[in-house]
């Protein structure tokens, strides 16, 4: 090291080193706003993260004590007697041990070891206080493994302007990047992993935008898209050039769903003859094309006003449940959407919901719909969905057996959706068994 000595013999830094350090620090502060605007990731790693990590370190002990997560080192009577006897200050309380603060693209995370008697829910309750003390957008606490929790913070709202690159080419089969997660990662819908999805949301909540993004990602792939839109095809007719079949009223929907059940049973016969458990075990040349069924506005299938409509609704519900039970292994996947989904529509809705492992809940007009979508999977996800405001259009809470996340879909307009359907219309498989006559 290059050090100088002053008149008293102490070693000091040379003046030129101090000058260079001062210039560098001043330059960073001057160029910081420009760097943050043009290169947010570089700004965060160079300036933002070090300052935030120091803040976390400095406030940790006081924060844990203020949130009731610190534990006294002595029993209360022992502490009191010690104070009376010799006037010594009380010992510092024990605080949960934390690991290194590690940066991410839009925040940071750290691991915390729980003290005896503590549970992860204690830290979940303290998450808002952590966000306030650390001056970040949000803090999320999840279990890492027994006795350890993971604390992840987002410095800003990554859903305010999600940046998701447009998918080029067909991509991985039945896998589509439709938006961004709160963590900053891409929101990917993988139908091979989670085959059936329920999407709920009120008008202008982002439900249609999500379906646009999903269809735009599936259109270049070698899959058949089937639409059921009992509002006269007002929504799904945008994609008609790329749809192998489209039902626009309940009568057509019942016949189309029945044909899909028959198609599924035929595929089951093929798999059984080949002694494989699903279509993915068949040779490429024998494997049937995957079918993605998109049902828009589920309530239109179940609402009834007469005996005849009741029979149709029951038939539609039964067919959907059978497809959900059998379809995953046989290449038939369901994406069911609706503004309002509740048990009051009929017992078939609850039975269908149980088969739809993936859930997406946008802002909804009634708490029952959010409860139907998320209540059986995760209470925390339900609270997060109920907190979505009208200004957060496109924001949703998605949940599956793997947990839950806040996310926002990539904006695909109606014009873009029509353009994508027209561009890939030549890839539309012809499935004669799904032909639906108008009525």
Q: Are 299 and 348 in contact (CB under 8 A)?
A: no
**Residue 273 confidence (pLDDT):** 93
Instruction: Specify the 3-state DSSP secondary structure of 375.
Output: coil
In the chain, what are the helix, strand and coil shares in percent, each to the nearest 5? 45, 20, 35
Q: Where are the alpha helices (DSSP H) in 331-394?
A: 347-355, 367-374, 379-386
Residue identified by tokens 């873009």 is: 416
Residue 215: what are its φ and ψ, rounded to 5°? -65, -40
**Token pair for 424:** 């890939």
Note the Cα 106 to chain centre separation in Å.
16
CA–CA gap between residue 98 and residue 154 (Å, rounded): 18
- Choose among 52, 33, 48: nearest CA to 101: 52
- Choose among 231, 256, 224: nearest CA to 431: 224
The end-to-end CA distance of the chain, in Å, is: 88
Could you tell me the residue ranges of all domains in the chain? 15-74+94-154, 175-434
**Residue 319 confidence (pLDDT):** 93
Q: If one looks up domain 175-434 in CATH, what number appears? A: 3.40.50.300
Domain 15-74+94-154 has CATH 1.10.287: no
Q: Are 243 and 291 in contact (CB under 8 A)?
A: no
Helix (H) or strand (E) holding 139: strand 138-145
**Token pair for 41:** 């990731």
Residue 325, classified by CB atoms within 10 Å of its CB into exposed (0-12), middle (13-18) or buried (19+), is middle
Helix (H) or strand (E) holding 324: helix 307-330
Contacts 24+ apart (CB under 8 A), 60-68: 60/95, 60/98, 61/92, 61/95, 63/126, 63/129, 63/130, 63/133, 64/95, 64/96, 65/93, 65/95, 66/129, 67/125, 67/126, 67/129, 67/130, 68/122, 68/126
**Residue 437 confidence (pLDDT):** 52
CA–CA gap between residue 394 and residue 185 (Å, rounded): 16
- Choose among 208, 154, 211: nearest CA to 183: 154
- Choose among 217, 212, 150: nearest CA to 183: 150
The structure's pTM equals 0.77
Tens-level pLDDT at each residue, the chain (439 residues): 454 545 555 555 566 555 655 655 565 556 656 666 677 778 788 888 898 999 999 999 999 999 999 887 665 545 455 555 555 556 678 899 999 999 988 889 999 999 998 999 899 889 989 999 999 988 888 888 899 999 999 888 777 766 554 555 556 899 999 988 887 788 899 999 999 999 999 988 889 889 999 999 999 999 999 999 988 888 888 899 999 999 999 989 999 999 999 999 999 999 999 999 999 999 988 999 999 999 998 888 888 777 777 888 888 999 999 999 999 999 999 999 998 888 777 778 888 988 999 999 999 988 888 888 888 777 778 888 888 888 888 889 998 767 788 898 888 888 888 899 999 999 999 888 777 554 4
Residue 195: what are its φ and ψ, rounded to 5°? -75, -25
**Residue 16 confidence (pLDDT):** 58
CA–CA gap between residue 286 and residue 271 (Å, rounded): 10
Instruction: Specify the 3-state DSSP secondary structure of 38.
Output: helix
**Token pair for 162:** 């999600």
Residue identified by tokens 């040349």 is: 285
- Choose among 403, 243, 428, 223: nearest CA to 331: 223
């Amino acid at each position: 090291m290059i050090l100088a000595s002053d008149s008293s013999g102490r070693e000091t830094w040379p003046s030129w080193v101090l000058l260079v350090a001062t210039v560098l620090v001043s330059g960073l502060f001057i160029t910081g706003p420009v760097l943050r605007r043009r290169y947010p990731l570089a700004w965060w790693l160079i300036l933002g993260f070090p300052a935030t990590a120091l803040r976390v370190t400095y406030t940790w002990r006081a924060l844990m004590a203020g949130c009731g997560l610190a534990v006294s080192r002595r029993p209360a009577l022992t502490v009191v007697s010690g104070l009376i006897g010799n006037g010594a200050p009380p010992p510092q309380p024990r605080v949960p041990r934390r690991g290194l603060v590690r940066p991410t693209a839009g925040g940071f995370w750290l691991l915390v070891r729980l003290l005896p008697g503590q549970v992860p829910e204690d830290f979940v309750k303290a998450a808002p206080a952590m966000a306030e003390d650390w001056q970040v957008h949000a803090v999320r606490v999840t279990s890492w493994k027994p006795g350890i929790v993971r604390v992840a913070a987002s410095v800003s709202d990554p859903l305010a302007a999600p940046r998701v690159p447009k998918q080029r080419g067909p991509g991985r089969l039945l896998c589509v990047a439709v938006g961004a997660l709160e963590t900053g990662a891409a929101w990917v819908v993988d139908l091979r992993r989670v085959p059936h999805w329920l999407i709920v949301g009120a008008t202008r909540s982002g439900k249609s935008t999500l379906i646009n993004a999903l269809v735009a990602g599936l259109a270049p792939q070698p899959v058949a898209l089937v639409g059921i839109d009992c509002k006269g095809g007002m929504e799904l007719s945008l994609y008609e050039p790329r749809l192998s079949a489209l039902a626009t009223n309940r009568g057509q929907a019942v016949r189309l769903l029945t044909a899909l059940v028959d198609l599924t049973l035929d595929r089951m016969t093929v798999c059984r003859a080949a002694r494989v458990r699903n279509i993915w075990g068949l040779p490429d040349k024998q494997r049937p094309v995957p079918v993605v069924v998109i049902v828009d506005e589920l309530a239109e299938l179940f609402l009834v006003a007469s005996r005849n409509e009741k029979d149709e609704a029951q038939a539609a519900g039964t067919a959907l449940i059978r497809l959900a039970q059998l379809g995953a292994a046989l290449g038939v996947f369901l994406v069911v959407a609706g503004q309002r989904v509740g048990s009051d529509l009929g017992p078939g809705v609850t039975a269908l919901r149980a088969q739809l492992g993936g859930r997406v809940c946008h802002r909804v007009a009634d708490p029952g719909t959010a409860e139907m979508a998320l209540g059986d999977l995760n209470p925390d996800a339900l609270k997060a969905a109920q907190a979505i405001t009208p200004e957060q259009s496109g924001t949703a809470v998605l949940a599956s057996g793997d947990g839950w996340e806040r996310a926002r879909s990539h904006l695909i307009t109606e014009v873009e959706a029509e353009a994508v359907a027209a561009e890939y219309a030549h890839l539309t498989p012809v499935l004669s068994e799904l032909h639906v006559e108008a009525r």
